[in-house]
Chain A
C-alpha cells in the first residue's frame, strides 16, 4: 500500500514536472517558428520600356518580392523566367556571350527556354509570360 502510494506520488510529481517543462518549451518553440506573412498576390508587373532593353540583353525585374529575369533575345523575342536557380536558390543572370542563362554559384546553365543545359540544377526555370503593350513590357504569371 505504502509502495503503491509512493509510486503514484512519483508518477504525479514526475508527470507534473514534465508537463510544466513542456508548457515552458512549447511557447518558446512556437515563438521561434516564423509566422506566415500573407503577401499581396501580384499577377503582373511593368518591366519598363521596350527600348530600355536591347536585343541579346537581360535584366532582373522585381515581381513582388521575387526576382524575374527578363531577356530580349537576339531574334527579337521577349522571354521571362524566375531568376531563382533551381539548384540552391542563387539568383541567375543572362550571359550575352553565349546567349544563355547562368548561375554563378555552382555553374548551372540554362537555355533561353529555361531548360537545364549543364551543371547541377535539377529542374528548368519557371517561365513567365511577356506582353508588349504599346512601348511597355509587361511580365505576368502564366495561367
Chain B
C-alpha cells in the first residue's frame, strides 16, 4: 500500500503531474441552454480515434492493388475473425465522424463561437472537415468496387474541370490519365499516411487554439446573465465536463456498435473498368448534394459548360462559408446575427433537401 504514493512521486518528479492537475482545475466550460452542443467536438475526436484503431487493424490484411484490393477486403470480411465487424465499424465510424463534424460546425455557427478572436479556430476546424471529406473520398476507393470506382472517376474528373490547372490536378490525383491501379496506390498513400499526418498536425493546432481562447459562450447567454447581474455559470472541465463527455463517447460507441453489427457494411461488386456505370449509382451521403446539383445543371449555361459552372458555384459557396467569421461583422464591428443565422439555415436546407433528392431520385 505504501508503494502507491512512492510510484506517484516517481511519476510526479518526471512528468510534473501537479501542474497538469492545477491547469485542469482552472479550465471551465460555460453552462447554458446550448451546452449539449459542446460535446460534438469531442465525439468527432473520439470517432477519429476509432478510425485510427480500426484502420490500423485493416492494414494488417489489406492489399492496395487492383488485382488484390477487392479480394483482400473480401478475405477480411469472410475469413478473418471479426473482420466483418472491424471493417463495418471503420465504415460506420467514418460516416458518423463526418456527421458529428457537420453538427459540430453548425453548432459553432449558431452559438457564434467563430467570433473574434476565434477566427483561426474556425479556419482550422473547416480545414479538418475538408480533410475528413478527403479521408472519405480516398477511403471509398480502397475496396475497389464498382460504386467506388465510378465515384472516383466522377470526383477526379470534377477536378479536371478547373480552368488551367485542372488537368494537372486530375493527373496528380489519379497518378495517370485515368482511374486505375496507380490511383488506388496513390489513394491508399493519401488515406493512411498523408491525410493522417496533416490531420494530426491540424488537430493539435485546433485543440491548442480551443485551449488558448477557452470555450466560447453564446452572446444571448452572456446577455441573459448580464441582465441578472450574475456571472455566467461555469462547470469545471475536469472532472465534471470530462465525465459527461465520456458518457457521450460511450453513447456514440453504443450507436456505432449497433449500426456496425446490425447493418454490416457491404462490399458490392468488384470494379470493372470496362463495365458501364450501374443504374442507381450514387456517392456517399455527404457528397449527395453536389452530386444531385450536377445532375440538374444543364450541359451549357450561357457560353460555359455546365460542369464548370457547377464547380465555380461550389467553389464560391465554399469560399463564402470559410470566410464566415470575416463577413459576420460589419466595419463598425456590429454582428450580422440575422445574416449568419440565415446563412446557416439556408445551407442546412440546401444540404438536406438536395441530399434527400439525390438519394431518392
Contact = CB atoms under 8 A, between A and B. Distances in A.
Interface of A: 32-34, 37, 60, 62, 65, 67, 83, 87-93, 103-107, 116, 119-122
B176 A34 contact: yes
A106 B294 contact: yes
A88 B307 contact: yes
B279 A104 contact: yes
Contacts of B171: 33-34
A93 B277 contact: yes
A103 B295 CA distance: 11
Contact of B299 (A32, A60, A122): A122
Contacts of B154: 88-90, 105-106
B277 A121 contact: no
Contacts of A88: 153-154, 157-158, 294, 307
B38 to A, nearest CB: 39
A83 B150 CA distance: 13
A34 B175 contact: yes
Given A33-B168, A116-B299, A122-B299, 4 more contacts: A34-B174, A91-B277, A92-B277, A106-B294
Contacts of B150: 90-91, 105
Contacts of B274: 60, 62, 67, 91
B178 interface: yes
Interface string B252-285: 0000000000000000000001111111110000
Interface of B: 150, 153-154, 156-158, 160, 168, 171-172, 174-176, 178, 182, 273-281, 291, 294-295, 297-300, 305-307
11 contacts: A33-B172, A34-B174, A34-B175, A67-B274, A90-B150, A104-B276, A105-B277, A119-B299, A120-B307, A121-B299, A122-B306
A121 B305 CA distance: 9
Q: State the majority secondary structure of interface residues on A.
A: loop
A119 B298 CA distance: 6
Contacts of A37: 176
A92 B276 contact: yes
Given A119-B299, A120-B297, A103 B277 contact: yes
B69 to A, nearest CB: 19
Contact of A83 (B158, B276, B291): B276
A120 B276 contact: no
A87 B276 contact: no
Given A34-B175, A83-B276, A104-B277, A89 B298 contact: no
A60 B295 contact: no
A77 B89 CA distance: 52
A116 B150 CA distance: 21
Contacts of A122: 299-300, 305-307
A92 to B, nearest CB: 6
Nearest to B186: A34
Contacts of B158: 88
A67 B273 contact: yes
Contacts of B278: 104
Contacts of B153: 88-90
Nearest to B168: A33
A31 B182 CA distance: 14
Nearest to A66: B178
A88 B295 CA distance: 11
B300 A34 contact: no
B276 A91 contact: yes
Q: Which 4 A-B pairs have the closest CB atoms?
A: A93-B276, A89-B157, A122-B305, A104-B277
A88 B171 CA distance: 15
